[in-house]
Amino acid sequence: MRIAVFAGDGIGPEVTEQAVRVLEKLDLPGLELVEGDVGGAAYYKHGHPLPAETLDVARSAQAILFGAVGDFSCDHLERHLRPEQAILGLRKELGLFANLRPAQVFAGLEDLTTLRPEVASKIDLLIVRELNGDVYFGEKGMRRLEDGRRQGWDMMSYAEDEVRRIAQVGFKAAMGRSKKLCSVDKANVLETSQLWRDVVIEVAKEYPEVELTHMYVDNAAMQLVKNPGQFDVIVTGNLFGDILSDQASMCVGSIGLLASASLAEGTYGLYEPIHGSAPDIAGKGLANPMATILSAAMLLRHSLGLEAAAARIEAAVAKTLADGIKGGDLGGTAGTREIGDAVLERL
């Protein structure tokens, strides 16, 4: 059981350290953790945000635990050298096309979200975000128009097989939950979305038990704060899923709580919090490590088949919150390590 641990930049190393402590505490037979450099940290050390050695480590492992990448001191670099290319490169190189981002309200946090408690308490949803296509991976560039104006451009596209395989993941997830799937697109404006919608409707024929609905992304953003309890599984493209999942995190209290799994065909996966490197609080011991700890739980479940161990971690995090131990992101005073300690005690 070889796990690659890529901590990255900013709060990445701080939150990853706590998740590693949790994994080690479980004392799983045969568990081996191997580190690798990614992001700005890798750029400053090796001249590239995703060095070949790191990719080799990733390929030699069964799964990756990932912290975060992003360093404003690298924002002037050519795009292919920027820290974010590490996570984008891993997703593409390793075929991690299915991104699962669950969001549910923890007991005791109902009053701490930015929604009214009676609205927030109903949230239990899963965003299934496509991760290998869309405007993220299309051709892009900066050019000069004939009249001298600069123009930036990015090509948005989905091929039908790309939509079909993520739709399958969405329908399967819905079958394992309450059999409701909402596909989010912008088919009223974008051809990319029209194809998305057509293909999702085709795939729906294979899942007659699932109730499929479609929603435009602008309405979905509104409904997510108006009545998030109406959603169960949401399936959407790369860009819309990125935005809606940050929004969903605040609906349940904090971005420091949302974990994610990025899966390839089979059991290989990368697991990371949905948040970034949070440069504004990095190095201060203030980051909430729960999203990363919960990502480690998803890793045990999806890539190693260790359901019981995963459930133990999730229960320990839930108990920590129910006991009132909260980071600054939730209006509490506990620091990163203190939260890690509290979760370990409850394990």
- φ, ψ for residue 53, nearest 5 deg: -60, -40
Q: What are the beta bridge partners of residue 3? A: 33, 63
Q: Cα separation of 306 and 286, whole Å?
A: 30
Q: Does 68 help bind ligand NAD (rule: CB under 6 A)?
A: yes
Q: Does 261 help bind ligand IPM (rule: CB under 6 A)?
A: no
Specify burial of residue 14 (Cβ count, 10 A radius: 0-12, 13-18, 19+). buried
Whether 218 is catalytic = yes
Among 9, 84, 242, 329, binds Mn ion (CB under 5 A): 242
Nearest-approach distance from CB 148 to ligand IPM, in angstroms: 31
256 binds, among ligand IPM, ligand NAD, Mn ion, none (CB under 5 to 8 A by kind): ligand NAD
Opening angle at CA 282, ends 276 and 283, nearest 5 = 145
Out of 43, 136, 158, 271, the active site residue is 136
Whether 136 is catalytic = yes
Using CB under 5 A as the binding criterion, the count of chain residues that bind Mn ion stands at: 1
Among 89, 133, 276, 340, binds ligand NAD (CB under 6 A): 276
Whether 186 is catalytic = yes
Among 42, 55, 87, 318, binds ligand NAD (CB under 6 A): 87
- When computed from its CA atoms, the radius of gyration of the chain, rounded to whole angstroms, is 20
Q: Could you say which residues in the range 48-107 bind ligand IPM, by CB under 6 A?
A: 84, 87-88
Per DSSP, helices labelled H in 111-216 are 117-120, 160-175, 191-204
Nearest-approach distance from CB 276 to ligand IPM, in angstroms: 6
Q: In this complex, which beta carbon is closest to ligand NAD, that of residue 121 or of residue 295?
A: 295
- φ, ψ for residue 32, nearest 5 deg: -125, 130
Among 13, 70, 228, 335, binds ligand NAD (CB under 6 A): 70
Out of 185, 186, 207, 232, the active site residue is 186
* 296: nearest Cα among 306, 288, 286, 287: 306
Q: Does 255 help bind ligand NAD (rule: CB under 6 A)?
A: yes
Ramachandran sector of residue 135 (left: φ over 0; alpha: ψ -120 to 50; beta: rest) = alpha
The string of DSSP letters for 216-277 reads EHHHHHHHHHH-GGG-SEEEE-HHHHHHHHHHHHHHTT-GGG-EEEEE-SSS-EEEEESS--
Tell the residue number behind the tokens 């590490």, with chain if given.
86
Whether 242 is catalytic = yes
Out of 75, 161, 218, 323, the active site residue is 218
Nearest-approach distance from CB 123 to ligand NAD, in angstroms: 19
278 binds, among ligand NAD, ligand IPM, Mn ion, none (CB under 5 to 8 A by kind): ligand NAD
Q: Which two tokens stand for residue 47?
A: 């001249």
88 binds, among ligand IPM, ligand NAD, Mn ion, none (CB under 5 to 8 A by kind): ligand IPM
Among 162, 242, 314, 329, binds ligand IPM (CB under 6 A): 242
Who's near 129: CB < 8 A, 6+ residues apart? 99, 100, 101, 236, 237, 238, 240, 241, 242, 245
Side-chain half-sphere exposure of 319, counting CA atoms within 13 A: 14
Q: Does 167 help bind ligand NAD (rule: CB under 6 A)?
A: no
Among 277, 295, 303, 320, binds ligand NAD (CB under 6 A): 277
Query: Which residues sit at the interface with Mn ion, rule CB under 5 A?
Result: 242
The residues of the shown chain that bind ligand NAD, judged by CB under 6 A, are 11, 15, 68-70, 84, 87, 255-256, 272, 275-281, 287-288, 291, 327, 329
Residues with catalytic roles:
136, 186, 218, 242, 246
